[in-house]
Amino acid sequence: MSQQPTIDGFDFAVSGESRQGRWSLRELPRLRSSLADAEGDLEYDLRGTLDTLGRQALRLRLRGVLKLDCQRCLETMTFPVDLDTVLVLAASEAEIDADAADPTAPDRILADPEMPIGALIEDELLLSIPFAPRHERCAAGADAGEAQRDSPFAGLSAMLGAPAPEGRQRSR
């Protein structure tokens, strides 16, 4: 693996620097175990900025396609990536912990004089992929769904020669 480019978080944000390019999926070791295929690249755009409260931040945009294993049918599926996130920089864990827990607030990360760009990309991708990826319309899921619609008592009713029950009825 080649030496990853790094940024100095606070300097990058204050100066409004930017870096763009393509990043190979093969160079993201923590992500590889979640992929069906590590071939391909992602486009990235990293910019130093200030958030709405004037705090130093990084804006990361990622575009591309990941190949994941569908957890329902185990076939390969494509997962489009189109992320645009703001990461507010913090000087210490205490600074992050001091913020009120607001689910709508941007994520906070520790700034460092040598922040690897690949690690920022990889972290955001790991957070974006579903825990159990599935095709939106999966053949295996359709079969399972049909089986669940049948009443478990339909077979018993057929054996007794009675009509299948439509709902719960009270016996007297």
Instruction: Note whether 107 and 144 are same-domain residues.
Output: no
pLDDT digits (tens, 9 = 90+) for 4-15: 899 999 999 999
Q: Give one word for 152, left, alpha or beta, with left for phi > 0 and alpha for psi -120 to 50.
A: alpha
What DSSP letter does each residue of 116-143 carry, written as one string?
EHHHHHHHHHHHHS-SS---SS-HHHHH
Instruction: Note whether 40 and 124 are same-domain residues.
Output: yes
Instruction: Note whether 158 and 115 are same-domain residues.
Output: no
Residue 2 is predicted with a pLDDT of 53
Query: Above 90 in pLDDT, residue 17?
Result: yes
Confidence of residue 170 (pLDDT cuts 50, 70, 90): very low
Instruction: Note whether 29 and 46 are same-domain residues.
Output: yes
Query: Above 80 in pLDDT, residue 144?
Result: no
16-25, 54-63, 139-148: which has the minimum mean pLDDT? 139-148
Instruction: Note whether 50 and 77 are same-domain residues.
Output: yes
- Domain housing 163: 137-167
What percentage of the chain has pLDDT greater than the value 70?
80
Residue 167 is predicted with a pLDDT of 52
Instruction: Note whether 114 and 155 are same-domain residues.
Output: no
Instruction: Note whether 154 and 93 are same-domain residues.
Output: no
pLDDT digits (tens, 9 = 90+) for 74-95: 888 899 999 999 999 999 998 8
Q: How many domains does one find in the chain?
A: 2
**Does any domain span residue 1?**
no
**Does any domain span residue 172?**
no
Instruction: Note whether 77 and 55 are same-domain residues.
Output: yes
Residue 172 is predicted with a pLDDT of 44
Query: Above 50 in pLDDT, residue 38?
Result: yes
Virtual torsion, Cα 134, 140, 141, 146, nearest 10 deg: 180
Query: Above 80 in pLDDT, residue 65?
Result: yes
